[in-house]
Chains A and B, each alone.
Chain A
């Protein structure tokens, strides 16, 4: 039964404005997130748990976001308030690696490269961990430069271990823990060979630390790196490998993120909360963070699909057309933003909603989100997603462009033929060598001048043709899905933006 509204009508204008103000991009940075933007995703609890060492996530799934959040006391307190089981109030953190080139906690890529010339990767990372701990917990470490510290660790394993246990013991006695966070590991080197060696060393250190109470490491890793066998070639690696946590966004998490924005952003947030209170009987309790009030959304609104649908229907058309057989908006939207692995990036979800609102308003519909607008929003989100992917996989456009005009599902050979005709593999190789030559400026705070990393599979293939390896790589990163043994399909998210058609038995005549 519909509820009678006591406190006036739905705050349409406020919600429109708030959606309109959703930002275009989320830059990878080490800056702590704005407390108002921090939505504690219930499904990410295990990823945030200090006991989970390895967290694997696609581009845009929140690796850098959570790294930065865990490294900020304000954000940690906010997370703690909502997920007290994790006991983050007893945790101190520091950076083991990040996108920043000026972080005193860890060496930059250039320094790493230099160190790696003369030292084992394991020793380098042990030194990184040790230095953070000594500087924070009143211990002395001989040497100032990274080179000296690494050399010390390499030459004095016993002393290093003693020092580490002493700090760990003290932390444990105080009931505290220290968490060293490693992000952006694809920026540790300029080619896969170097990166692999460094990551392998880091994972060995992580495994050692697992035996240490009081000191913990957390590594955020790309899925293509996690699947790379060569970084796991060390004893007992399976303990880490199998224990990994995947950063995924379930449907409820995506909508939760949207309500969190509407309940916390700008002038309209208060009115929207009041609406939710009167219509859906949801109450909000503010949490103080850094002098600001944050309103975490109620648990029911985070996980109850029925409630989420009802809340969506306040502002959106219920179905994706005049005919309800066109599908429910609530499921249609995330469904059409999903990659081949069924994953949706939160950024593309928010952009889709933002642009859906803009298009809906431009067409003069009364709802905040009309299905016509939503279809358009999904289209613009698809180009956002390709751009996001390009950050991690700079070759993605090179690979997609020759597929322009192809129809799917199609055979592997059709795709490989197009790449051969377009000399795609050679183009990737050329881009790699061209981007490799100039040394990037060291002045930028963020290491944006990244080296061109070719597809992972190309750098390490045994018998397959490079084109076959490319198909596997696209499958791994969710751009194509395998229909059966010799055919592939491309989800709408990438298909439309790449001007790829879909096969069909009917050619309409009008």
Chain B
């Protein structure tokens, strides 16, 4: 047998178990992938101990470097440290050649990618609508779209909070706040202070040292919580060092990971500022921290994409990860997948361009996150036709316009006319108004003269 690779480990483990324990119900089996990627197997207590012992060396052989050792690699539930509690741990579901296996992922950081949305503690806390803006790469107009929509809403009298979670490549602060209008601190500072339980973390939020109003939406309320503030500008040498601490779990309670900490930050800001809406600029790419913005902030998630093979490849990885959380949740109006929506960014006006994008997005979602819909029935399956404009794969569209390349609002906003904004971003913003806020056109209701 060829040496076992990461990708081989789970299928080989499954193969071994199926061969030895015929008729075993895989709903009772847990596959555990440890921090190094080695695979442990936990069988129900009904498995015969003698058979378990006999199977161990074969399993260890098959897994090679991915076996944690023949003794610990295969045990019955009662013989584990966790005992029955293991069965209550959240798991992912992987489809291996038609068999659904339950996989417990143990990771050093980034547990957020392994937890289904809505399973977090305190997930049901009431908060204003939140929208995460995610893209695989920079330069697709994600932050521009976020700012323009936020500004539009502020102009309509809404209170809007923009939160920069693109910590590695901070942008919102520099783009929307003149240097002298920056707040003292930024999100990175808060995360660093919070890690050590500094009282400063609390003070930043209460005394509004983390947010400032952008003059670009004056007189409206457009709050910006940038990644960094004046302090970091004064001490630039500390930024990367702070960043390294930003993603770590703190030791508050049982320990909070990045998503939990950001959720606490967000909740506190929301109580202090009472925004009508929060827009979150997520980090680009499939970084560990993007999991928070995509999965754990109880937000609508906009998935920005240009029509390029590399982009589709990245989204294939993302959806394949999310798919492992989709099996366990009943499809319904509360299905978290309904909160995801593709955005065709820098869209071409060419004939068939939208259809081409839509078709590629559809393929992606069919293979990734849509439920299989058997012939006849399964009305409640989470599945859509390609042409269904309510479907997550059916993109909102932002037409490409060179005027928005390298767009820096502080410099360029005054020269780009409202007409250019409306023609590129208008339909996108109108669709979001309805999707997120439930706003229909006022016209549609009022036909009195």
With A1-B445, A508-B381 as known contacts, state yes or no: A491 contacts B387, CB within 8 Å: yes
Task: For residue B391, give the distance in angstroms from its CB to the closest CB of chain A.
Answer: 8
Measured CB to CB, the nearest residue on chain A to B364 is: A505
Check A325 against B390 for contact (C-beta < 8 Å).
yes
Check A3 against B338 for contact (C-beta < 8 Å).
no
Choose among A3, A280, A306, A375 the residue with the greatest number of B CB atoms under 10 Å from its CB: A306
CA distance A458 to B95 in the complex (A): 42
B372, B376, B379, B441: the one contacting A506 at CB < 8 Å is B372
Chain B residues positioned under 8 Å from A242 (CB to CB): none
Q: Does A292 contact B (CB under 8 A)?
A: no
Query: How many of chain B's residues have a CB under 8 angstroms from any CB in A?
Result: 54
Q: Does B386 contact A (CB under 8 A)?
A: yes
CA distance A484 to B352 in the complex (A): 13
Chain B residues positioned under 8 Å from A309 (CB to CB): 440, 444
Check B435 against A281 for contact (C-beta < 8 Å).
no
Check A506 against B371 for contact (C-beta < 8 Å).
yes
Q: Does A322 contact B (CB under 8 A)?
A: yes
One digit per residue, 1 when the CB lies within 8 angstroms of any chain A CB and 0 when it does not, for chain B 406-449 equals 00000000000000000000000000001100101111111111
Chain B residues positioned under 8 Å from A404 (CB to CB): 375
- Interface of B with A (CB < 8 Å)? 27, 93, 95, 100, 300, 319, 323, 326-331, 333-334, 338-339, 341, 359, 363, 366-376, 379, 381-383, 385-390, 434-435, 438, 440-449
Check B338 against A325 for contact (C-beta < 8 Å).
yes
CA distance A338 to B387 in the complex (A): 10
CA distance A375 to B390 in the complex (A): 15
Task: For residue A138, give the distance in angstroms from its CB to the closest CB of chain B.
Answer: 54
CA distance A1 to B371 in the complex (A): 40
Check B333 against A504 for contact (C-beta < 8 Å).
no
CA distance A499 to B375 in the complex (A): 5
Name 22 A/B residue pairs within 8 A (Cβ), A-sorted: A1-B442, A2-B446, A281-B449, A306-B441, A307-B444, A307-B447, A309-B440, A309-B444, A310-B444, A321-B333, A324-B435, A326-B338, A327-B389, A332-B390, A342-B387, A492-B385, A501-B373, A505-B368, A506-B326, A507-B371, A509-B27, A509-B100
Task: For residue B377, give the distance in angstroms from its CB to the closest CB of chain A.
Answer: 9
Chain A residues positioned under 8 Å from B386 (CB to CB): 483, 489
CA distance A310 to B93 in the complex (A): 44
Task: For residue A200, give the distance in angstroms from its CB to the closest CB of chain B.
Answer: 33
Q: 15 extra interchain contacts, Cβ-Cβ under 8 A, other than A500-B375, A508-B329?
A: A327-B388, A375-B379, A483-B359, A499-B376, A501-B373, A502-B383, A503-B366, A504-B371, A504-B372, A505-B369, A507-B95, A507-B100, A507-B371, A508-B382, A509-B328
CA distance A261 to B48 in the complex (A): 72
- Interface of A with B (CB < 8 Å)? 1-3, 280-281, 306-307, 309-310, 318, 320-328, 331-332, 335-336, 338, 342, 375, 404-407, 409, 483-484, 489, 491-492, 496, 499-510
CA distance A500 to B423 in the complex (A): 41
Check B382 against A506 for contact (C-beta < 8 Å).
yes
CA distance A3 to B448 in the complex (A): 8
Measured CB to CB, the nearest residue on chain A to B380 is: A508
Chain B residues positioned under 8 Å from A332 (CB to CB): 388, 390
CA distance A338 to B328 in the complex (A): 32
Please report whether the interface of chain B is mostly helix, strand, loop or mixed according to DSSP: loop
Chain A residues positioned under 8 Å from B434 (CB to CB): 324, 328
Task: For residue B338, give the distance in angstroms from its CB to the closest CB of chain A.
Answer: 5
CA distance A190 to B326 in the complex (A): 55
With A322-B333, A499-B375, A505-B368 as known contacts, state yes or no: A310 contacts B445, CB within 8 Å: yes
Task: For residue B86, give the distance in angstroms from its CB to the closest CB of chain A.
Answer: 18
Task: For residue A451, give the distance in angstroms from its CB to the closest CB of chain B.
Answer: 33
CA distance A506 to B387 in the complex (A): 20
Chain A residues positioned under 8 Å from B323 (CB to CB): 505-506
Chain B residues positioned under 8 Å from A504 (CB to CB): 366, 370-373, 381, 383
Chain A residues positioned under 8 Å from B371 (CB to CB): 504, 506-508
CA distance A289 to B148 in the complex (A): 55
Measured CB to CB, the nearest residue on chain B to A318 is: B440
Check B375 against A306 for contact (C-beta < 8 Å).
no
Task: For residue B137, give the distance in angstroms from its CB to the closest CB of chain A.
Answer: 24
Check B390 against A327 for contact (C-beta < 8 Å).
yes
Chain B residues positioned under 8 Å from A505 (CB to CB): 95, 319, 323, 366-370, 372
A1, A307, A310, A509: the one contacting B327 at CB < 8 Å is A509
Measured CB to CB, the nearest residue on chain A to B394 is: A327
Measured CB to CB, the nearest residue on chain A to B330 is: A510
CA distance A509 to B327 in the complex (A): 6
Chain A residues positioned under 8 Å from B27 (CB to CB): 509
CA distance A168 to B367 in the complex (A): 64
With A506-B323, A510-B330 as known contacts, state yes or no: A336 contacts B388, CB within 8 Å: yes
5 closest A-B pairs by CB:
A327-B390, A504-B372, A323-B333, A501-B375, A502-B373
CA distance A507 to B372 in the complex (A): 6
CA distance A322 to B178 in the complex (A): 43
CA distance A335 to B390 in the complex (A): 10
Task: For residue A455, give the distance in angstroms from its CB to the closest CB of chain B.
Answer: 24
Measured CB to CB, the nearest residue on chain B to A322 is: B333
Measured CB to CB, the nearest residue on chain A to B326 is: A506
Task: For residue B25, give the distance in angstroms from its CB to the closest CB of chain A.
Answer: 12
Check A335 against B372 for contact (C-beta < 8 Å).
no
CA distance A281 to B435 in the complex (A): 29
Task: For residue B330, give the distance in angstroms from its CB to the closest CB of chain A.
Answer: 6
Choose among A325, A404, A506, A507 the residue with the greatest number of B CB atoms under 10 Å from its CB: A506
Check A1 against B388 for contact (C-beta < 8 Å).
no
Task: For residue B127, give the distance in angstroms from its CB to the closest CB of chain A.
Answer: 17
CA distance A327 to B384 in the complex (A): 11
CA distance A282 to B83 in the complex (A): 71
Chain B residues positioned under 8 Å from A507 (CB to CB): 95, 100, 327, 371-372
Chain A residues positioned under 8 Å from B341 (CB to CB): 325
Chain B residues positioned under 8 Å from A327 (CB to CB): 388-390
Task: For residue A74, give the distance in angstroms from its CB to the closest CB of chain B.
Answer: 33
Check B438 against A324 for contact (C-beta < 8 Å).
yes
Check B375 against A508 for contact (C-beta < 8 Å).
no
Chain B residues positioned under 8 Å from A499 (CB to CB): 375-376
Chain B residues positioned under 8 Å from A3 (CB to CB): 446-448
Chain A residues positioned under 8 Å from B387 (CB to CB): 335, 338, 342, 491
Task: For residue B53, give the distance in angstroms from its CB to the closest CB of chain A.
Answer: 31
Task: For residue B431, give the distance in angstroms from its CB to the closest CB of chain A.
Answer: 10
Choose among A320, A324, A407 the residue with the greatest number of B CB atoms under 10 Å from its CB: A324
Choose among A1, A309, A325 the residue with the greatest number of B CB atoms under 10 Å from its CB: A325
Task: For residue A427, give the distance in angstroms from its CB to the closest CB of chain B.
Answer: 21
With A310-B447, A335-B387, A506-B327 as known contacts, state yes or no: A326 contacts B333, CB within 8 Å: yes
Task: For residue A46, give the distance in angstroms from its CB to the closest CB of chain B.
Answer: 23
